[in-house]
Amino acid sequence: MSSSAMTGTQFDVSVVVPLYNEEESLPELAAWIDRVCREAALSYEIVMVDDGSTDSSWEVVERLKEDYPTLRAIRFARNYGKSAALYCGFAAAAGEVVFTMDADLQDSPDEIPEMRRMIVEDGFDLVSGWKRERHDPIGKRWPSKFFNWTARTVSGIALHDFNCGLKAYRRKVVKSIEVYGEMHRYIPILARQAGFRRIGEKAVCHRARKYGVSKFGLERMVKGYLDLITVTFLSHFGRSPMYFFGSLGTLMFLLGGGTTVWVIAAKLYKQALGLPLRHVTDQPLFYLAMLAVVLGVQLFLAGFLGELINRAASERNNYLIDKTID
């Protein structure tokens, strides 16, 4: 191990491991990461984030600290979710290249040297793993394929596996994005939104789960699509909500107002000519038109309120500066 790891300076690699009830796999994972980094002559640190485990995972982490001096750990008082664990892990990471991998041994640390090379030598900002051959039940594989196709189509980012836990980041990336809620699935989208457009992909080895059971159920698919709508909206209209709500509200107001005028004008025209007519209030179209007017006004006001909130936000003028010349 190089001296940088021992003196507390920046490491070649930081490995952020969010975990929840993974007591059996942690010793094997730590030993595997240590072996790979030593063989590649990389200084490294492991940042384990215990997301409120109810088993003895934290006691295992405390014992591992005795064998691996560069291991650091964070423990949540309760389960907050993977995004919260990654957010805190990113904040603590000090490596030149930051990796994320799950604690269940399904992600292979053997991928670390090559993915790091893609960041350092090939110039990628982010390299996402692609589980080309997945060792998961078909009930997880096919929904995942459909989910990834939708995310790829909506975002325009050509990745096969957005939700792969094994990813490598240039350090500046993880310090510039905010992962919250369930947004860990869309870190590539958040990174591109922040200005990091050099996003690559590498086919990685995916192993069958050795210990325990999966912590994710079918509800993640529903949450995933809701989060996709959120991140897509924020990437396009996060700083200018009036562009979305104001445009849609104006369109509905004009459509509803124009229809209302047409219904009233048609009634007056028929009345002037003595033709058979229906009262305006007897026509369903009149009420639909009025509904469109009301919704249009509400949408416009929503956009206006969004602009007021955005104007008061302290981070409204936070921009990622790549280079400067003085």
Report the mean per-residue pLDDT for the chain. 85
pLDDT tens digits, residue range 273-324? 888 888 888 889 989 999 999 999 999 999 888 888 877 766 655 555 565 5
- The reported pLDDT for the residue numbered 86 is 94
pLDDT tens digits, residue range 254-276? 999 999 999 999 888 888 888 88
CB 21 within 8 A of CB 54: yes
The pair of three-digit structure tokens given for residue 108, joined into one six-digit string: 């292979």
Please tell me the distance from the alpha carbon of residue 158 to that of residue 44, in angstroms, as a whole number: 30
Say if residue 2's pLDDT is above 50.
no
Give the residue-averaged pLDDT of 2-8: 42
According to the 3-state scheme, what is the secondary structure of the chain? CCHHHHHCCCEEEEEEEEECCCCCCHHHHHHHHHHHHHHCCCCEEEEEEECCCCCCHHHHHHHHHHHCCCEEEEECCCCCCHHHHHHHHHHHCCEEEEEECCCCCCECHHHHHHHHHHHHCCCCCEEEEECCCCCCCHHHHHHHHHHHHHHHHHHCCCCCCCCCCCEEEEHHHHCCCCCCCCHHHHHHHHHHHCCCCCEEEEECCECCCCCCCCCCCCHHHHHHHHHHHHHHHHHHHCCCHHHHHHHHHHHHHHHHHHHHHHHHHHHHHHHHHCCCCCCHHHCHHHHHHHHHHHHHHHHHHHHHHHHHHHHHCCCCCCCCCCCCCC
Is 323 contained in some domain?
no
Say if residue 212's pLDDT is above 90.
no
CB 135 within 8 A of CB 54: no
Is 322 contained in some domain?
no
Say if residue 218's pLDDT is above 80.
no
Whether this prediction's pTM lies above 0.95 is answered by no
User: Which residues touch 102 (CB under 8 Å, ≥6 apart)?
Assistant: 17, 18, 165, 166
User: How far is residue 48 from each of residues 65, 68, 96, 107, 148, measured CA to CA in Å?
Assistant: 11, 12, 17, 15, 27
Q: Which one of 210, 237, 264 terminates a domain?
A: 237
The verdict on 199 and 220 lying in the same domain is: yes
Please tell me the distance from the alpha carbon of residue 94 to that of residue 80, in angstroms, as a whole number: 23
The verdict on 247 and 274 lying in the same domain is: yes
The verdict on 67 and 148 lying in the same domain is: yes
Percentage of the chain beyond pLDDT 70 is: 85
Is 271 contained in some domain?
yes
Instruction: Decide which of 282 and 15 is more confident.
Output: 15
The verdict on 290 and 194 lying in the same domain is: no
For helices 112-120 and 26-39, give the axis angle rounded to 10 degrees: 50
Q: Which one of 237, 271, 297 terminates a domain?
A: 237
- The reported pLDDT for the residue numbered 314 is 61
The verdict on 210 and 245 lying in the same domain is: no
Is 144 contained in some domain?
yes
- The reported pLDDT for the residue numbered 281 is 83
Please tell me the distance from the alpha carbon of residue 35 to that of residue 29, in angstroms, as a whole number: 10
Q: Which one of 173, 205, 237 terminates a domain?
A: 237
CATH code at 58? Answer: 3.90.550.10
Is 79 contained in some domain?
yes
The pair of three-digit structure tokens given for residue 13, joined into one six-digit string: 């690699």
Give the residue-averaged pLDDT of 222-245: 75
pLDDT tens digits, residue range 94-135? 999 999 999 989 899 999 999 999 999 999 999 999 988 776
Give the residue-averaged pLDDT of 43-55: 94
Is 326 contained in some domain?
no
The verdict on 162 and 178 lying in the same domain is: yes
The verdict on 82 and 41 lying in the same domain is: yes
- The reported pLDDT for the residue numbered 167 is 96
Q: Which domain holds residue 266?
A: 241-312
Instruction: Decide which of 112 and 7 is more confident.
Output: 112
Instruction: Decide which of 174 and 216 is more confident.
Output: 174
Is 17 contained in some domain?
yes
Phi, psi of 254 (to 5 degrees): -65, -40
Using pLDDT thresholds of 50, 70 and 90, give the confidence band for residue 139: low
Number of separate domains in the chain? 2
CB 81 within 8 A of CB 54: no
Is 50 contained in some domain?
yes
The verdict on 252 and 228 lying in the same domain is: no
Instruction: Decide which of 236 and 135 is more confident.
Output: 236
> Which is it for the CA torsion 81, 85, 90, 96, positive or negative?
negative
The verdict on 164 and 177 lying in the same domain is: yes
The verdict on 210 and 296 lying in the same domain is: no
The verdict on 100 and 166 lying in the same domain is: yes
Residues in a beta bridge with 49: 18, 74
Give the residue-averaged pLDDT of 193-204: 91
The verdict on 10 and 74 lying in the same domain is: yes
